[in-house]
Amino acid sequence: MPLGGWPMKVCGNRLLILSLILSWLAVPGAVPAADDGSRVFQELKCGLCHKPDQKGAGPNLQSIAQAYDQQREGLIAYLTGTNEARMGIAKPDLMKGSLGKIQQRSAEDIAALAAHLLSFKPR
């Protein structure tokens, strides 16, 4: 049943994103570390397709970080399924399955994964 006119999935994901942002503001040092995200990245086997350079099957990590520069919330929204990707996806069916696995993780894991991905921004 829709909540406030929003389908439950969209509403739930928006609440997840809002709760993450509020928790970061409420607790000093609560922004997830990229190191925790590295663990999540490895556990989900994201590195099979996404690599720091151009040699992976998916977009490289620097390109992802550039596409979401200063847009942590946008990246989290993509990972939780509420927004489309900001870049082309060559294998959308493969990524759809991976996103399903990401969305089964905790809000903290998703936020940490986003922090890890954003840490690859070229200097």
Q: What is the pLDDT of residues 21-63, one digit of tens each?
A: 665 555 445 455 667 899 999 999 999 999 998 778 889 999 9
pLDDT at 101: 95
What per-residue confidence (pLDDT) applies to 25?
54
| Integer Cα distance of 107 and 4 in angstroms | 23
Closest alpha carbon to 73 in 28, 106, 24, 39: 24
What whole-number distance in Å separates Cα of residue 78 and Cα of residue 88?
13
Amino acid sitting at position 33: A
Phi, psi of 32, rounded to the nearest 5 degrees: -60, 145
Q: Identify the pLDDT of residue 37.
A: 94
Residue-level pLDDT at 122: 79
User: Where do the domains of the chain lie, and which CATH numbers do they carry?
Assistant: 8-118 (1.10.760.10)
CA–CA separation, 97 and 54 (whole Å) = 22
Confidence of residue 105 (pLDDT cuts 50, 70, 90): very high
Other residues' Cβ atoms within 10 Å of the Cβ of residue 88: 8
Top pLDDT among 114 and 22 is at 114
**What is the mean pLDDT of the segment spanning 89-118?**
90
Which pLDDT does position 8 carry in this prediction? 46
CB atoms within 10 A of CB 1: 4
- d(C-alpha 67, C-alpha 88), whole Å: 11
CA dihedral 44→79→39→88, nearest 10 degrees, is: 70
